[in-house]
Amino acid sequence: MDVLADESNPKILVNTFDALEHEALNAIENFNMLGIGPLIPSSFLNSNDSLDNSLRTDLFESDSKDYLQWLDSKPKSAVVYVSFGSVAVLTKQQVEEIARALISRRRPFLWVVRNRKDGGYEEIEEDKLTCREELEQFGMVVPWCSQVEVLSHPSLGCFVTHCGWNSTLESMVAGVPVVAFPQWTDQGTTAKLIEDVWGNGVRVSANEEGIVERDEIVRCLDLVMGDDEKGMEVKKNVEKWEGLAREASMEGGSMDMNLKAFVDDVAQRCWK
């Protein structure tokens, strides 16, 4: 920011879109903030195309055959997808609470439980599960998966997420309701936006020890996947933001227009 302060008419490209954060993009008076998002593989935006392998954004390798076949076997909007990204590490107690919540709801689920190397030794999050056999009666536990493929699958009914920004935008483009389960930094802010501003999901509440208990997880799952007034309101907002996110990504949308304006500005500066 200090470097940009010396520039005339500085521009910052941001992975968001105008309809989502119009006020925020215009709030910083000294900089021209340009929303060039959502930055999603083009094949993900076109439901008629299969995902181009060259555009995969996964940090780890995954074998998609098994879990995609499993998803194919599930009804529309029935599966709970649980993933906390590539960095966050949950405590054993928190993993247990999530597991017990999933078992108690008896809904099909796909849960990413990572193998993580940290500090010279391998910590396997899967070892924190005391009820693996019971879990597998209802769902599937995998070490990683292609998130854009999973979110775009018609069987997805809910995404339990740490509210990382990429995950937030991907769920929005895919039209999947969210249970916001933030861990740190900006994720709490994003979770508040999801629940209170965008309305495309609900946020979990932790107890005094910082643990989100199983009953609270169940409550949130039932809210976003239910057919009562709250569930229908969430689904309506999900549909709204999916449309606006995809519109922003198309030719003539805010991403297209902002990128063209930026390139034109750079070209003019080069020719001066």
pLDDT, one tens digit per residue, over 233-265 is 999 999 999 999 999 999 999 999 999 999 998
Q: Which residues of the chain have pLDDT under 50?
A: 53-55, 57, 59-60, 118-122
d(CA 216, CA 89): 20
Take residue 268 and report the two structure tokens written for it: 């003019």
| Structure confidence by residue, pLDDT tens digits, 213-234 | 999 999 999 999 999 999 999 9
Residue 123 pLDDT: 53
pLDDT value, residue 41: 87
Predicted pLDDT of residue 118: 46
* pLDDT of 189: 98
pLDDT at 8: 75
Beta bridge partners of 124: 115
Q: CB pairs under 8 A, 24+ apart, for 116-119?
A: 116/89, 118/89
Name the pTM for this structure.
0.90
Domains of the chain: 4-12+15-36+251-271 (no CATH), 55-249 (3.40.50.2000)
The crossing angle, in degrees rounded to 10, of helices 229-249 and 165-174 is: 100
pLDDT at position 117: 56
pLDDT value of position 270: 82
